[in-house]
Structure 1
């Protein structure tokens, strides 16, 4: 285990991430232009989506049905677990919902780093795992916001007359249309889904065109992105300290809990060691792109320094340095 963790620590993607953290801590003037940062995000989303679609075109629905069910199961169950844990910790409802959406959704960059890790240790994985990334992005956001509306409206009852007239008070809507639109057509999910379907539709015929940019250069672009993520994570670290040791422990312990659950589910649905490890990475990661984008408009009362600070300042570096090799070792031990 120690050799695997050391190997991961000495990989270029992790070292450049650490470099970014060091730059932020010592207040270096290093920074990425906002346009470049946005461009790198778009690149990674398209690369993972189109590769997943091309790989998915090689499989029949019978082969991917069980893994898809496993991914959807995790997307629903993890937010419920998170709400239970945070209510036990006495965290207020709005921030608990925000963390449930954040930790139920996934980190596309952590997944990308895990793919690089598996390539370094020479472990194959199912190509359709890239498609499962898309499936696990939205359900947790929708489930969390649905729970928020149920909790807030649990004492309200629709009158018979309003039901007959088709009038539903806005406060009683289980989920707002704008929230649904943002969860499905937000940048992250739109690019992942769109790229996935393009890759699925074109199959191998797309490889000659997409390979030079989206496959051959993937790891190099990931290094740039993680350097930028290191800068942002380093800036977020002081915010996490303000909210106490309990939340800090939550950001460190739940990835291991959910990651182990993800590996177990991956094993149950018949994934290989590499595939089960990636399922663990998806389950143990936390979103700092799709979920915060939805939360910003739908739960404005939630504190971004909590859900973004924990996801980006604690869970992301933990998974990048320790989590990924741990989930890999758990997957090897189980199988």
Structure 2
């Protein structure tokens, strides 16, 4: 009982984070019909700055890191992304009134990673003084890309089986290239390369790092407003998408936490790194995923997979997943 009481107290404390308050504030603004709007160009600029900051920081640390320490977490990140897609493939896709393309696109989105959720987790871990490997955020593409590729391959194979004359073999290389060209991964990888190959300490400390928290708060405000507005779209598709979006962040996050714990036992992966791995697994892509899946699985209904992710999955991952996995780590690792 003491463990449960400690867990409940820790969980409630995490929910009071000022970072998460902006997400809830955005949802409240939309619920009360506020006319506040933030231009799309500003949203894209904020996302770019956040991902560049994450990439630069990770790249500078990778340059001085032991790459053997990074190898196993990178491998299990790819495994987690694929497992999350397979969970959706063998659960959501079998439910009544669910189109396979809609299910697999949703699974792909929930298997990929949300840059905003990752950024929020980094801020909250810093607020809580929880240490993690500085290169841990660089695990993002190792989970994101395999999840999207697997979802696209599964959707394409299913379509080919249903209609053998619909095309030739699946071009996995092209899928990888298109994923890497996406705006989110392009910014993150550029930051990583600059951090590894150059010496961007001054611009990082004078521009990217000081702006990180403020820009993240605006991004979460935008996401809160969009999440509420997407609820109307979600009502027009099967209710199973809502159930999946509620459960998937926690189930996927537990998969990430479990495999992260294995990395902790075998290779000394830090508790903070395990938390970040769980948070990335619990998140659903809000930047790289939607345009990639729209282009690659055109017959999937965006109201289903984007609506489920934006209106339910992301708020659950942010407001429930992050505090839940921090509280769980406090019990497991005694931090």
CA distance in 2, matches of 1:253, 1:96: 15
CA distance in 1, matches of 2:176, 2:215: 31
Partner residue, 2:221: 227
CA distance in 1, matches of 2:190, 2:246: 33
Which deviates more from structure 2 when the two are superposed, residues 139-148 or residues 324-333?
324-333
Partner residue, 1:57: 63
Partner residue, 2:76: 70
Deviations 1:6-38 (A, max 9, x none): 333322221121111111122211000121111
1:263-274 → structure 2 map (5 Å cutoff)? 263-270=257-264, 271-274=269-272
CA distance in 1, matches of 2:155, 2:112: 16
CA distance in 2, matches of 1:155, 1:254: 28
Partner residue, 1:31: 37
CA distance in 1, matches of 2:95, 2:218: 37
Partner residue, 1:246: 240
Over the aligned positions, Cα root-mean-square deviation in angstroms equals 1.9
Give the paired residue count: 322
1:149 and 1:173 in contact (8 A); partners too: no
Q: 2:194 aligns with which of 182, 193, 198?
A: 198
Compute the displacement of 1:227 (Å).
1.0
CA distance in 2, matches of 1:155, 1:41: 39
CA distance in 2, matches of 1:149, 1:243: 22
> Is 1:330 matched with 2:328?
yes
SS in structure 2 of the partner of residue 143 of structure 1: helix
> Is 1:11 matched with 2:17?
yes
Q: 1:187 aligns with which of 155, 166, 183?
A: 183
CA distance in 1, matches of 2:255, 2:195: 30
SS in structure 1 of the partner of residue 312 of structure 2: helix
1:145 and 1:175 in contact (8 A); partners too: no
1:1-335 → structure 2 map (5 Å cutoff)? 1-90=7-96, 91-154=98-161, 171-175=167-171, 179-202=175-198, 205-270=199-264, 271-335=269-333
1:255 and 1:319 in contact (8 A); partners too: yes
2:11 and 2:327 in contact (8 A); partners too: no
Compute the displacement of 1:88 (Å).
2.4
Partner residue, 2:3: none
CA distance in 1, matches of 2:213, 2:150: 33
For structure 2, list consecutive stretches of 5 or more residues without a partner in the other structure: 1-6
Which deviates more from structure 2 when the two are superposed, residues 243-252 or residues 79-88?
243-252
SS in structure 1 of the partner of residue 152 of structure 2: helix
SS in structure 2 of the partner of residue 286 of structure 1: coil
CA distance in 1, matches of 2:72, 2:142: 13
Which deviates more from structure 2 when the two are superposed, residues 48-57 or residues 175-184?
175-184
Compute the displacement of 1:283 (Å).
0.6
Compute the displacement of 1:286 (Å).
0.5
> Structure 1's 319 and 98: CA in aligned 2 closer, same or farther, altered over 3 A?
same
Structure 1 length normalisation: TM-score? 0.90
Deviations 1:268-317 (A, max 9, x none): 11222111011000111101211111111121221111111111110111
Compute the displacement of 1:4 (Å).
3.0
CA distance in 2, matches of 1:116, 1:96: 32
Compute the displacement of 1:210 (Å).
1.2
Compute the displacement of 1:241 (Å).
3.0
CA distance in 1, matches of 2:205, 2:281: 28
